[in-house]
Amino acid sequence: MDLEAAGGAAAAHGKRWRGESWRATLLLAYQSLGVVYGDVATSPLYVYKSAFSGNDIQHSTGNEEIYGVLSFVFWTLTLITLVKYVLIVLRADDGGEGGTFALYSLICRHVRAGLLPGGGTRDELMEEEKVTGRRGERPVSRVRAVLEKYRVLQRLLLLFALLGTCMVIGDGVLTPAVSVFSAVSGLELSMEKEQHKYIELPVACAILICLFALQHYGTHKVGFLFAPIVCIWLLCISAIGLYNIIHWNHHVYRALSPYYMYQFLKKTQTGGWMSLGGILLCVTGSEAMYADLGHFSQSSIQIAFISVVYPALVLAYMGQAAFISQHHNFESSYHIGFYVSVPESLRWPVLVIAILAAVVGSQAIITGTFSIIKQCSSLSCFPGVKIVHTSSTVHGQIYIPEINWMLMILCLAVTIGFRDTKHLANAQGLAVITVMLVTTCLMSLVIVLCWNKSIFLAIGFLLFFGTIEVLYFSASLVKFHEGAWVPITLSFIFMVVMCVWHYGTIKKYEFDVQNKVSVNWLLNLGPSLGIVRVRGIGLIHTELMSGIPAIFSHFVTNLPAFHQVLVFLCVKSVPVPHVQPEERFLVGRIGPKEYRLYRVIVRYGYRDVQKDDLEFEKELVSNIAEFIRSTGECDKNGFVEDTDKPSDKLSPISTGIPLWEEDGDLDASASPHKGIDPQNIAPKRKKARFMIPKSAQVDSEVRRELQELMDAREAGMSFILGHSYMKAKSGSSFIKRIVINFFYEFLRKNSRGPSYAANIPHASTLEVGMVYQV
């Protein structure tokens, strides 16, 4: 295989959405209907019902209220969803990914204001830019200088991003409940009054359970399954809307004028302002649309919304308003909703389609929740979870079992607890508008810091959209006791979890940095390191990018033997969606050549799929071999000093030397040291050969080092993992002891370890336990 061509193909795959064909774009646009737009497409089920629920406003014969609500719905949908999200925010993708945390990651890379260990701190981001050559010349704006100077602002920025993330998770709990319950509530018009009370709740719960049970099939299959349902639903509501406009009130288009918003607020005053909490629901799904950007492409999402979703929604809302404007004899304002405007002969078929569409509507936010938790987990802001990649071609299509079942349990709990659309809608409204406010604020920073636009443009964006959203936010917050407390409570719980995990991860990283062993200590041991060197490769996992981890000294002082080749492996998840293959491996040497000590840093983006253990081992050895060959040509002194600046000693390896391998039999004689279990030192023998090009100039010393690496590879590879226990040191405050000793340790014990650890064969793994006094 041509390795250079393979690297180019992989790089092109990392930029997969650029240069895509129109056919592929239209196919993605069709799929996006089933995943992205189900939520916003089902909002006509409950917007008018929520706006007129309670005693905020009443439907009068003058129709000022219904016209005003229609005007608010139209302009909110147009300004927030169409202009803000579809035309502006979707452009702020982080390497093809979207969502609140993607915006934060994008800002941190341009400002160097990150607080995330493992590729997200200020120093590590500067190093990442140097190595990959992405630094460039950026104009230093006053906003950027202030953010880089004051650490308190960096902490507030992170907390702000986490708040938006927590609200998205809360929305993931509430949206399925609201959508499904609103669809099922159509039974009250199709059944006797007493019967529907006993059927609605069990039917809604059964549908929710089925919805979450389908998630493990993946976005691709779910999208193809659900897209026809959304298409039928949009066709259905637009046709019914058009019929109602023609049949009941063809002058309803006049209500699209902003004048009717003024008339509405002038007449209803406080009641009209409070009803905005229900009107707000017309834009639910806008944030999920942005969070799901990684599953599709910007152009496909824009085409689907502008050409199909937006016109259908406008017709649907106008049709409902046209019907309601000619009917004033409802039993109560709570019955003003979608189903009353459906012709009686079509109610049962529409009810079935609505229930199916509500299931699709829930899919959008569930998928977005998976995406945003994956980002947080990769950047050390959420405990480790199992991430299942459901597509071999699209990295963003994932499934997280723990989160899926947690969302299902919480969703069923709020559905059974509230049992009505009013309280559920109040809860959902606050979650939706809070995320939108966070996105607006972060987006204004992106305009200045990432797009290098005028600060006045950013302020204008913030003031225009921020004013609209603050108005809706205030109306939603007033209904705290009527259900709005739910997203606040859920967000507080998730915020505590994220902050505790982030704090503990930072303290662990700081302990590693402060307690690393100096290189001089290692050099004083001599080439044998003061112990017996046995055949094989020892792979020591560490979080450090420089220095010797304390776990190594702890290991060699307790065991009498170690491998002939030692590799200090640091796997970093950096705050970019994808790392190009030619930039993934950084290889360096520790001490003189005869020590056979290497340092390898492997970098993954928060959307990258880590390879399985066998493929990774082979690529790791190939890159070390290429490092030996390339440095042998220019380094004649045989010594590369290990300083605290990784860029001074690490070399990016674009393409490793091809390695041919064939499995062999286990050879117990591979370990010359008696008392050492060959299963741990040389678990499996392999026949290995490096395919060095004939044109390459390789001297005898380099060939000898490559031969030793090849022999070590044949003897086998062992993995040494640190198993740390966090404990607050004596004299710590009471709060710190509670956070570290109980909360963080509880989360650590009940979360999954690093993804690379899950792929390591257990027979080749050795864990070294250490207590971290932080």
**Alpha-carbon distance 625 to 686, whole Å?**
17
DSSP states along 301-346:
HHHHIIIIIHHHHHHHHHHHHHHHHT----SSGGG-SSGGGS-GGG
Q: Are 505 and 497 in contact, with CB atoms under 8 Å apart?
A: no
pLDDT for 125 equals 45
Report pLDDT digits (tens) over 370-396.
Answer: 877 887 887 788 888 887 777 655 555
Torsion angles phi and psi, residue 348, rounded to 5: -65, -50
Task: Tell me the pLDDT band of 16, cut-offs 50, 70 and 90.
Answer: very low
**Alpha-carbon distance 749 to 763, whole Å?**
22
**Alpha-carbon distance 345 to 322, whole Å?**
19
**Alpha-carbon distance 358 to 360, whole Å?**
5
Q: What is the DSSP letter of 739?
A: I
pLDDT for 224 equals 67
pLDDT for 727 equals 85
pLDDT (average), residues 262-266: 87
Report pLDDT digits (tens) over 618-658.
Answer: 888 888 888 888 876 655 444 444 444 433 467 777 666 66
Which residues 6+ apart lie within 8 Å of 221 measured at CB? Answer: 390
Q: What pTM did the predictor assign?
A: 0.75
Task: Tell me the pLDDT band of 128, cut-offs 50, 70 and 90.
Answer: very low
142 vs 598, more confident: 598
Could you give the maximum distance between any two Cα atoms of the chain, in Å? Answer: 97
Beta bridge partners of 718: 538
pLDDT for 525 equals 67
Report pLDDT digits (tens) over 577-603.
Answer: 678 878 888 888 887 788 888 888 888
pLDDT for 315 equals 94
pLDDT for 89 equals 92
State which amino acid sits at residue 65.
E
CATH number for the region 52-118+140-491 comes to 1.20.1740
User: 758, 101, 99, 117: which is closest to 386 by C-alpha?
Assistant: 758
Which residues 6+ apart lie within 8 Å of 149 measured at CB? Answer: none
- By percentage, how much of the chain surpasses pLDDT 70? 76
pLDDT for 461 equals 94
User: 411, 413, 328, 327: which is closest to 369 by C-alpha?
Assistant: 411
Average pLDDT of the chain, as a whole number: 77
Pairing of strands 532-541, 388-389: unpaired
Report pLDDT digits (tens) over 286-324.
Answer: 887 887 787 777 888 899 999 999 999 999 999 999 988
Q: Are 219 and 364 in contact, with CB atoms under 8 Å apart?
A: no
pLDDT for 467 equals 94
Q: Are 755 and 610 in contact, with CB atoms under 8 Å apart?
A: yes
Q: Are 166 and 319 in contact, with CB atoms under 8 Å apart?
A: no
Q: Where are the domains of the chain?
A: 52-118+140-491, 516-635+698-773
